[in-house]
Structures are given as C-alpha cells and as structure tokens.
Amino acid sequence: MAYICYMQINIAKKVAAEQAATYIKSGMTLGLGTGSTAYYAIMRIGEMVREGLSVKAVATSEESEELARAQGIPIIPFSEVDRIHIDIDGADEANAALQLIKGGGGALLREKIIAAASDQMIVIADESKVVAQLGKFPLPVEIIPFAYELTLRRLHQLHAAPALRKKGDQYFVTDNGNYIADCHYERIADPETLHAQLNDIPGVVENGLFIGMAHLLIIGKEDGTTREI
Ligand code: 5RP
C-alpha cells in the first residue's frame, strides 16, 4: 500500500514538472530548482535539449547542477547570466496567495537568489503541498555556524522552537557551508512580518519563506492532471 502511494505521488510531481516545462522556449536561460519534484523538471528539460531545444541554465544546488550536466543541459557561470527567464522549483508548502515554505532540501538560499533574479518563478508541487495556512512544515532557516547557539536563542525568542537539522550524527551543512534551523511554528499567521523578523537576526542568512516571488503554481494530481494558480 505504501508503495502504491509513493508511485502516485511521483506521478503528481512528474505531471506538474512536465507541465512547467511546456513554458520553456529555445533561447531562454533557466533556473533549475532542487528536490524530488524539480528532479522531474530537470529530466524533462534534458529530454527537450536532446530533442533540439536550445537553453542555458543555472542551478540552485550542487545536486541539481550535477543532474543537469548529466542530462546534457548547458550550465553557465553566473558571470554570463544577464537574465533568467524562468525558474522552475518545488515547494514544501504553498498557499493560494503563492506564498511558499521552501528549504526542505536545504537549498533555500540559492533557491531564493535565483528566484529573485528570474523573470518568472514557476512552482511545481503535488497536491499535498497546498495548504490554507503556512507553518505545519517546519520553516527552514539558514544560519551561519559561528555562534549558532546565540542565533538559536534569538530564534527561540521568536517562538520558533528551532531544531538544528542533522544528517546522521552530524549537523547538516548547506552548499554554502551553513546550518539549517528547522523552526516549528505549526501556523504562520503573518508570513511577511515573520520573514522580516527572522532576517533581522544577526547570524540568520535567509529563511525559507518565499513571499511575492512565485508567479505560477502548477499542482500535479494523482490522476495525472494538473491545475494552475
Ligand atoms: C529544497 C526545496 C524543495 O523545493 C522542497 O523541499 C520540495 O522538495 P520536493 O520536491 O522533494 O518535495 O525547497 O530546498
């Protein structure tokens, strides 16, 4: 039974990713997201490149860059980027106002830099990611390792109940050499205010709230159809 559910969720992610790829045209520079949904987008873009699509791309993580290169997608250095036409990325939670929680895969900082530099951010997700109110998914906050204990204390003061993310018995380290504090809010009533409060803490590099960044949310369903917000 668990196996069937897993397969169904993969279908939902795949159709959302493939629908996003229909927005891509030759000549575009793309932002490539991170995670299991973005994986399907990168795989589809790879196929399109092999069929003759001419695009360049930048990636939001080392993992996605490696996958993209393996698929034959040309990755360019940021010095050569003058415009990113479309960024396609997943989300951990999304609401109807296209506000997101991202960073479940630990790539939120690079994801936010690339989303902010893109003309259009297309978010791809299965239905389970769509929520009425953000916050059930622990909000990832990237913090620098220096004096992280003090940064965690400040997060506690914002009622974040932060837990430093671990990988095995070590702290998880991002592609930028930082830690992730997963903040347990349950319900985030005012994402804009929280975003500002978190980024105001010295030691916080960035947080996983993406507000006013996404232009389109493509939701994949288990029956293979998609819906767009
Ligand atoms: C990585 C992210 C991902 O987009 C997010 O975690 C969703 O991942 P998935 O598509 O595997 O559910 O923000 O930092």
Q: How remote is the CA of residue 181 from the centroid of ligand 1, in Å?
A: 16
Q: Is 111 a catalytic residue?
A: yes
15 and 106 share one domain: yes
Give the confidence band of 5 by pLDDT, cuts at 50, 70, 90.
very low
146 and 123 share one domain: no
What is the domain extent for residue 116?
A: 11-128+212-223
Tell me if 160 is assigned to some domain.
Answer: yes
104 and 217 share one domain: yes
Average pLDDT over residues 64-91: 97
Ligand 1 neighbourhood includes 90 CB (under 6 angstroms):
yes
Which CATH number does the domain housing residue 218 bear?
3.40.50.1360
203 and 217 share one domain: no
ipTM of the prediction greater than 0.95, yes or no: yes
Contact 124, 17 (CB under 8 A): yes
- Two structure tokens written together for 43: 């795989």
Give the confidence band of 9 by pLDDT, cuts at 50, 70, 90.
low
- Show the CA angle centred on residue 123, arms to residues 185 and 200, nearest 5°: 40
Ligand 1 neighbourhood includes 92 CB (under 6 angstroms):
yes
What's the pTM? 0.95
Tell me if 5 is assigned to some domain.
Answer: no
Percent helix, strand, coil in the chain, to 5, is 35, 25, 40
Tell me if 1 is assigned to some domain.
Answer: no
Q: Is 103 annotated as ligand-binding?
A: yes
CA 110 to centroid of chain Cα atoms:
9
Q: What is the pLDDT of residues 123-153, one digit of tens each?
A: 999 999 999 999 999 999 999 999 999 999 9
165-176 burial: b if 16+ Cβ within 10 Å, else e: beeeeeeeebbe
